[in-house]
Every structure is written in C-alpha cells, then in structure tokens.
Amino acid sequence: MKKKNREINIFSMSALDLFASAMGAFLLIAVMALPYYLKTDKNLMQETQELKKEIKQKDEELKKVQKKLEQSQSENEELKKKLKKCEEKRKKVESKMQKELSKTFGAINMSWESSKKQDVDMYITDPNGRSYSFNNRKYDGSEAMFTVDSRDVKNGAEVWITSKLNPGKYKIYYKYYAGSGSVDVSCKIFTKSFTKDLPNKRLTNPSKNATKIQVATINVDSSGNATLEVR
C-alpha cells in the first residue's frame, strides 16, 4: 500500500495557524484601540458642532454688519442730498450778496456859511431824468430822497441820499435862490467807491429865475463802481 504525502497537510496547517494568529492579534489591537477611536470621533463631532455654531454666529454678525452698512450708505446718500441742497442755497446767497454788493449807496451834502440869511438850492438829476429838489424830495419807486432842505438861513445845508445808485449819470446842480451878496458853497460826496469834496463854488446874483449851475457828475458803471467828474 502506497504512503500518503504529509507535507502539504503540514504546510496547510501552519498557514492556517499563522493567519489565525494574525487575525487574533489584529482583533486584539482593534479592541484595545477602539475606545481611543471612539473618543477621537466624539471630540471631532464636538469640535464640528462648535465650529458650526461659531460659523452661524459669524454669519449673524456679518448680516448685522451688512445691515448697518446698508443703513450707513442710505444715511450717506441723504447727507449727500442735504449737502447738495446746502451748496445750491449757498450759491444763491452768494449770488444775491454779490448783486447787493455791486450796488453802491450815495449821499451828497451841500452846505454854506454866511453872516446873513441866504437860500441856496441843490438839484440832483438821476439816470432816469428825475430831478430831486426842495419841490420834488422823493419819487415813487425810488430809494433816493432829499432829507435836509435849509431855507433863508445863515448856515444852511441840503442833503440827498440813496441806498442804491443805479448805473448811469447823476448830475449835481446849484442855484442861488434868495439872499444878497455872494455865498461860498461847499459839497461833500459819499459813495461806496469814494468820498470826495467838491471845490468850493462862489455864487452871486440870487434870483428865483436864475439858471441852475451844474457843478459835478457822478458816473456809475454796471458793476456799481462810481467815479466823479467835476465841472
């Protein structure tokens, strides 16, 4: 009877023992490490939850910041609109002020001194042809007027004023109306552009019908600047 070959059987049993031992060792290590892995997974889950919570908080904070930013932008637009209105108002006020500053006031003070009673009249003719005097102290629609008119006195004066000198020519006249002998007349003119004294003028031969004597002209340009022309 032929003997059986036992090498294969011996090899097969050894391989099984080896695999069994390896499997046992793996299971043993896995059982020993399982608590650690479970703990690690738990920590990761907790960290994940905390991160999610933090992300949610950051999202809420970001939304609040965005809302504030939108409100700030809206307020900024309102401020820009108000600033624009203020700028337009400022320009209008400046324009009005420039127009007012371009206007020039005027005052003419004619006077005389004498040892006896005399009467000298002053006449002012404006660019519109209106003649101001003791007979016509003021005209409707005009800022100008006579404020002083001395009559038959030793020391007299005549004063004409206006808050606005319109562009054009303002002519100044004297007339020796009543009295006797001669009289020396002086005159001081005030405007925004200058303050000047006219040369003294000696008048003789008083007469109610005497012709007016032109002594000076105030020239006012479109910008309100005034110059004086002495006759």
**Residues 87-126, buried b or exposed e (16+ Cβ, 10 A)?**
eeeeeeeeeeeeeeeebbebebbbbbebeeebbbbbbbbb
For 136-158, how does the pLDDT look when each residue is reduced to its tens digit (9 = 90+)? 999 998 889 999 988 878 889 99
54-82 residue pLDDT tens: 888 888 888 888 888 888 888 888 888 88
Which one is predicted more confidently, 82 or 40?
Answer: 82
Could you tell me which residues come within 8 angstroms of residue 22 by beta carbon, excluding any fewer than 6 positions away?
none
**Structure-token pair, residue 194:** 């200058």
| Tokens matching residue 30 | 């896995």
> Which pLDDT band holds residue 32 (cuts at 50, 70, 90)?
low
Taking the model in full, what pTM does it have? Answer: 0.58
Give tens-digit pLDDT for 91-118: 776 676 566 555 678 999 999 988 888 9
Contact 225, 171 (CB under 8 A): no
pLDDT digits 0-9 by tens, 194-216:
999 999 999 998 988 888 999 99
Residue (of 111, 203, 118) closest to 154 by Cα position: 118
